[in-house]
Amino acid sequence: MNDMSPRPVSPPEMSSAEALHPKERRSRRFAWIGMAASILLFGASLVVLWHIVSEIDVNELKSAFTAASLRQIGLAVLFTAISYGLLTCYDAIALRQLKLQIPYRTTALASFTSYAVSFTLGFPLLTAGTVRYWIYSPKGVSPGRVASLTVIAGVTFWLGMALVLAWSLISKADELASLVYTHIWMNQLVGLGAATFVVGYMIWVSIQRRAVKIQGWKLELPGFRLSLAQILIGAGDVCAGAGVLFVLLPGGHNLSFETFLAVYIFAVMLGVASHAPGGLGVFEATILLALSNYPREPVLGALLLYRLCYYLVPFMIALAILGAYEIRNRIRSARLAFKPDEGDVELGG
């Protein structure tokens, strides 16, 4: 006798795209967007690199190298290494605030490459964020967390810069007044304003947990201890970056490092405000204007060497590292794709 009871009808098979959870589909979409942005960024980097290299005057470069001693170049390389080393701490602090466990080698890779690229291309929130997403996303870091990390790292930079600016303007107000033709009280007032900002921020984040909202996106800021670390690391980075150019300046300028710090910070701030790649042109013009009492050609040579040491060389190294990183990932993905499943068993005939 046949079984006439109704049999369950299997649901129609869903395609792999339909079977994905909405969050998984969104994650894949972000992955494709991130990959496309990374490719565009890498291409733009190569174009900018070509323009920078093509515009360098070989004779000026030779003159700058001839004028600079081995000691000056060695110190510039040392300060560059210190600055970029401290920049890796920016990401480390941000990751700790976000409670993300990422190996330091990954943190150092993401930090160095993102800053080396963003310093040259400009638009740090976009360029640095894209590079960071490229490296952090395989570790499970979401685009929102990458954006939060980039913002926290930016806060570290500005806090450190504000502290150093306050110290320089207050302690060397008279020297700056004669250098840039301002009044002593004006320099001190700006310095006190920067110091008040730093102290006020520290008090603000110390009273209770603080969070800011940016277009509906909530970001919790670091507390007192991490903010203090941010300020000290940011200040050290700014001093190291300024030290690169300071040691390359021609001798006999009788300019103290504390005084030069204020000039350097203002040049960096104007360069950031201009949105020019690396503040190119704006930074140099500000330095030349502030140091107009000194011979122009040696200062130009120092600025050229500074661009080469602090921007161009790290930028080229970062591009090489990112290229090698992507090639390694492609090779690893290819190996996994051709690797047989562990459950597959060959049946003997």
In a domain, 36, yes or no: no
Give dist(CA 221, CA 210) in Å, integer: 6
Strand bridging mode 217-220 / 211-214: antiparallel
Look up the domain containing 127 and give its range.
59-326
Percent pLDDT > 90 in the chain is 34
Cβ proximity of 271 and 279 under 8 Å: yes
Average of per-residue pLDDT across 109-116: 93
Average of per-residue pLDDT across 123-137: 86
Query: Cα torsion at 184, 187, 192, 198 (round to 10°)?
Result: -160
In a domain, 145, yes or no: yes
**In the predicted model, is pLDDT for residue 179 greater than 60?**
yes
HSE, CB side, 13 Å, CA atoms: give it for residue 239. Answer: 16
**In the predicted model, is pLDDT for residue 144 greater than 90?**
no
Output the pLDDT for position 34. 54
Give dist(CA 208, CA 149) in Å, integer: 21
Read off the pLDDT band of 330 (50, 70, 90).
Answer: confident
For residue 23 the two structure tokens come to 């969050």
Instruction: Please state the pTM of the whole predicted model.
Output: 0.77
Average of per-residue pLDDT across 7-31: 51
Give dist(CA 168, CA 170) in Å, integer: 6
Output the pLDDT for position 60. 65
In a domain, 49, yes or no: no
Output the pLDDT for position 129. 86
Torsion 107-109-110-112 (CA) sign? positive
Output the pLDDT for position 25. 57
**In the predicted model, is pLDDT for residue 157 greater than 50?**
yes
Cβ proximity of 128 and 117 under 8 Å: yes
Give dist(CA 121, CA 141) in Å, integer: 24
Average of per-residue pLDDT across 144-162: 89
Average of per-residue pLDDT across 132-150: 88
Residue with the bigger pLDDT between 182 and 99: it is 99
Helices (H), the chain: 16-19, 22-55, 58-67, 70-97, 104-121, 124-136, 143-171, 173-180, 184-207, 224-248, 257-274, 282-290, 296-306, 313-338
Average of per-residue pLDDT across 248-258: 83
Q: Which of 108-112, 138-142, 277-281, 311-315 has the lowest mean pLDDT?
A: 277-281
In a domain, 71, yes or no: yes
In a domain, 89, yes or no: yes
Read off the pLDDT band of 47 (50, 70, 90).
Answer: low
**In the predicted model, is pLDDT for residue 345 greater than 50?**
no
Q: Which of 74-83, 210-219, 330-339 has the lowest mean pLDDT?
A: 210-219
Among residues 120, 181, 156, which one has the least CA distance to residue 315? Answer: 120
Percent pLDDT > 70 in the chain is 76
Total tally of structural domains belonging to the chain: 1
> Which string of DSSP letters, residue by residue, matches 27-43?
HHHHHHHHHHHHHHHHH
**In the predicted model, is pLDDT for residue 138 greater than 70?**
yes
Q: Which of 142-156, 170-184, 271-285, 314-328 has the lowest mean pLDDT?
A: 271-285
**In the predicted model, is pLDDT for residue 196 greater than 90?**
yes
Read off the pLDDT band of 174 (50, 70, 90).
Answer: confident
In a domain, 293, yes or no: yes
Read off the pLDDT band of 39 (50, 70, 90).
Answer: low
Cβ proximity of 246 and 260 under 8 Å: yes
**In the predicted model, is pLDDT for residue 8 greater than 70?**
no
Among residues 322, 286, 314, 303, which one has the least CA distance to residue 120? Answer: 314
Average of per-residue pLDDT across 209-215: 73
In a domain, 246, yes or no: yes
Mean pLDDT of the chain: 80
Output the pLDDT for position 18. 47
Read off the pLDDT band of 347 (50, 70, 90).
Answer: very low
Q: How many CB atoms lie within 10 A of CB 187?
A: 21
Give dist(CA 318, CA 316) in Å, integer: 5
Beta-bridged to residue 218, according to DSSP, are: 213
In a domain, 8, yes or no: no
